[in-house]
């Protein structure tokens, strides 16, 4: 109940505000440009529809993770810097509940991004292969990735107590996680690339999307990667719980 109260407070303060809504307008504009280019540009429209769907799914996931990181970095450090955390600590709410409420608000943000992206996914993937499984996997894995990165960023924000620093570290982690996108296919096939791909939750999600949407592979092919993402989710929630319990003014 208290968690729900904190969640509502967070949603009111950071999502249902004109500034917060600007994010969604920008998200929508970017997705509009991207899907319009995919479908009408001469070169891009030559891509297979499955590939288009896969690319837009990666983009939506990265966007959700990025926004989760920013909201997570603000969760504790931002409140400390604004001097509002003290009032929150004085209320009869446990720190664990505060952290859970803030995490649920970040998940709501991901939910809104996912909802915004649905019409775009539909128009890009309509008539192509594996649209429905793709949306399903994006919903599940996007939620888990959002949990992983925002819980980590929140835990960091509680420990470092500086929004700027926790944001910079979170961005570095995000870039590291996104590194497979910058690596060539040949490098990713080396032993280092394979291990890095396997241990990196972002790469696991991207490879799962590839496997489901482009290669039409079933759930049995995805279990290993999904299990790794689940382990990361539990680890990051545990990290957040520990960090929230230790947070001091």
Partner 1 sequence: MKKTILTLSMIFFATMLNYTYAAASGRITISINPPSVQAKMGDRITYTGTITNNSGKPVTNLITYISLANVTQGKEAPMDLEDWSANKAIRVDTIAPHGTYMGKWPMRLIDSGGYVAYITVVDKNNNIPVISMMSHLDIKRVLRLNPNNVLPVAIGEPILIGAVFVFISFKRRPGVR
DSSP tag of 171: H
Contact 31, 128 (CB under 8 A): no
Nearer to partner 1, 1 or 132 (CB): 132
Nearer to partner 1, 48 or 86 (CB): 48
Nearer to partner 1, 40 or 220 (CB): 40
Find, among 219, 212, 39, the residue nearest to 125 by Cα: 39
**Residue of 14, 49, 146, 166 interacting with partner 1 (CB under 8 A):** 49
DSSP tag of 242: H
Contact 207, 223 (CB under 8 A): no
Calculate Rg over the CA atoms of the chain: 19
**In the Cβ-directed half-sphere of 84, how many Cα atoms lie within 13 Å?**
11
Q: Which of residues 206-245 bind partner 1 (CB under 8 A)?
A: 215
Q: Which of residues 77-136 bind partner 1 (CB under 8 A)?
A: 116, 119-120, 122-123, 126-128
Question: Which three-class secondary structure state does DSSP give residue 195?
Answer: helix
The least distance separating partner 1 from the CB of residue 138, rounded to whole angstroms, comes to: 17
Interaction pattern, residues 7-46, with partner 1; x per rule: CB under 8 A: ---------xxx--xx-xx--xx-xxx-xx--xx----xx
Find, among 168, 4, 1, the residue nearest to 102 by Cα: 4
**In the Cβ-directed half-sphere of 241, how many Cα atoms lie within 13 Å?**
6
The least distance separating partner 1 from the CB of residue 32, rounded to whole angstroms, comes to: 4
The least distance separating partner 1 from the CB of residue 69, rounded to whole angstroms, comes to: 22
Q: Does 190 bind partner 1 (CB under 8 A)?
A: no
The span from the first CA to the last CA of the chain, in angstroms, equals 25
The least distance separating partner 1 from the CB of residue 120, rounded to whole angstroms, comes to: 6
- The binding site for partner 1 (CB under 8 A) comprises 16-18, 21-22, 24-25, 28-29, 31-33, 35-36, 39-40, 45-49, 51, 116, 119-120, 122-123, 126-128, 185, 215
């Amino acid at each position: 109940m208290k968690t729900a109260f904190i969640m509502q407070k967070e949603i009111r303060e950071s999502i249902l505000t004109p500034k917060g809504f600007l994010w969604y307008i920008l998200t929508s504009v970017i997705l509009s440009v991207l899907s319009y280019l995919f479908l009408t540009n001469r070169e891009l429209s030559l891509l297979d529809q499955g590939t288009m769907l896969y690319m837009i799914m990666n983009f939506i996931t990265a966007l959700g993770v990025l926004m989760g990181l920013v909201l997570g970095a603000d969760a504790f450090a931002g409140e400390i810097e604004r001097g509002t955390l003290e009032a929150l600590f004085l209320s009869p709410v446990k720190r664990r509940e505060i952290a859970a409420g803030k995490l649920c608000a970040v998940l709501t943000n991901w939910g809104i991004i996912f909802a915004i992206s649905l019409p775009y996914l539909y128009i890009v993937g309509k008539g192509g292969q594996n649209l429905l499984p793709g949306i399903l996997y994006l919903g599940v894995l996007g939620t888990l990735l959002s949990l992983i990165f925002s819980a980590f960023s929140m835990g960091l924000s509680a420990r470092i107590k500086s929004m700027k620093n926790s944001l910079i570290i979170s961005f570095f982690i995000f870039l590291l996680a996104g590194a497979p996108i910058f690596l060539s296919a040949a490098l990713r096939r080396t032993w280092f690339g394979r291990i890095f791909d396997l241990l990196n939750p972002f790469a696991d999600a991207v490879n799962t999307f590839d496997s489901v949407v482009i290669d039409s592979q079933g759930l049995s092919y995805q279990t290993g990667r999904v299990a790794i993402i689940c382990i990361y989710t539990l680890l990051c929630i545990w990290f957040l719980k520990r960090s929230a319990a230790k947070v001091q003014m």
